[in-house]
Amino acid sequence: MLLSATDRCLLALYMGIKGITVKKHWDNPVEHEMPAAARVPAEVRIGAVAVRPATVLAPMAGVTDTVFRRFIRHASLFSSEQSAESGEQGSGAGDQGPEAERIEGAISNLQSGCGLIMTEFTSADGLSRMRESKRRRYLTFYDDEHPIGAQLFGSNPETLAEAARIVEETGFDLVDLNLGCPAKRVVGSNGGSGLLRDLPKIGEIFRAIRKAVTIPFTVKFRTGWSESEIVCVELARMAESEGLNGLALHARTREQGYSGQAQWQWIAAVKQAVGIPVAGNGDIRTPEDAAAMVAETGCDAVMIGRAAPANPWIFRQIAQYTVTGAYEQPAAADRYRMIRAYFEMLLAEAEATKDLPRDARMGDPAGKMKQFATWFTHGVPGGAKLRAAIYHARTGAEVLTEVERFFASRLEGEPESETDAAGEPADLAQAFPEAALLCD
């Protein structure tokens, strides 16, 4: 499939962003129907932390910074009253009215469909060495992000323990260990999924971190290094025996990367093997997928990664689906409010941090806006035009102006073709479907 010159430029830009590598989209995704006897649980308790509902935003390098995390929380609101109080950030696909009350009562004592958010994965070595000002950039969070977990990666038990202490002192609700990242530069330093070939070392790390902190301690891992080296059940039992409070399994091997199908049967096997909470991760694209995973595996929570940047409403939709068996799709006006809200949040964060030391500043938000343009314009007729305008904009303010200009006529009902002027697909994701993240 041919790409326009603009989309080729965007793809090159996207591939060059630090922390991001372009991966294949879900391979031949399985379409699930809503199971009759299973729903995403209303709550899961990880140690003393109540996660309500039992949905988790996966840690994703280059994506889940404080702006995106808060954006997802607001996009997941299902109470129209609170959405109004929160401003346009709370806008979603339609006005829930009385339905919001039914959802709230049925699945949660909160008003967001996203129960737990996670930071980008952070190097324990770097965290222990970096200046306080730079730590602030990586570990910044706001009061409305609770409950929130910080994810660490590394291979030295003492260094990881020190980094975990920093996480606890900073005020996070839990600390998570990354044993799932398949990236070569992480695996090459024996971090992420590279440790899956060294269970004794993982045991040392578990003990060191558990001894260092009192907050809940969890781990996210893959099934194993390869199909011939599956270790997920053994690792899960080790985690429980060493006092961890929960775990999340991405049901692929390191060798799989993000290709093929997630093997949900391993989530079921892990759930049967341990008594601590188990979150399932892998190939959740829709509310039907989330419910099907719970039905097939018995997992206590679902963790969503790649689907969240492409569909920021997915947690809200899961909340709706849990109660009503149906969910709303965003209209053009909803997508406009979503894009505008996120970009305005980026601009506000850049303004709020401009006087901080350089290490702690957000910097120019234009690059981040361009990064997310391919996701956020997914399904928008004529989206290639908006991507082109965003790509050529030089500042964050210019990007926002282009968003306003693009949607002005469309919100007035002007018809728009699904293809650009050259007759090529309007959505880059159709040709390079949705860039996966370095670690999700």
Q: Where are the alpha helices (DSSP H) in 278-328?
A: 287-297, 307-310, 314-324
Question: CB-based burial of residue 355 (10 Å sphere; 0-12 exposed, 13-18 middle, 19+ buried)?
Answer: exposed
DSSP 221: E
| 181 catalytically annotated | yes
State which H helix or E strand residue 257 sits in.
none
The span from the CA of 233 to the CA of 381, in Å, is: 46
The span from the CA of 227 to the CA of 76, in Å, is: 36
In 274-411, DSSP assigns E strands to 278-281, 301-304
The span from the CA of 198 to the CA of 215, in Å, is: 26
Residues 117/341, Cβ–Cβ less than 8 Å: no
CA distances from 317 to 25, 94, 255, 288, 312 (A): 21, 11, 32, 10, 10
Contacts of 27 (CB under 8 A, 6+ apart): 259, 260, 261
Region of 198 on the Ramachandran plot (φ > 0 left; ψ -120 to 50 alpha; else beta): beta
Per annotation, catalytic residue among 9, 114, 181, 232: 181
Kindly write down the DSSP assignment for every residue of 31-99, as one continuous string. Answer: PPPPPSS----S-EEETTEEESSSEEEPP-TTT-SHHHHHHHHHHTB--HHHHHHHGGGG--SS--THH
Residues 91/144, Cβ–Cβ less than 8 Å: no
Catalytically annotated residues:
181
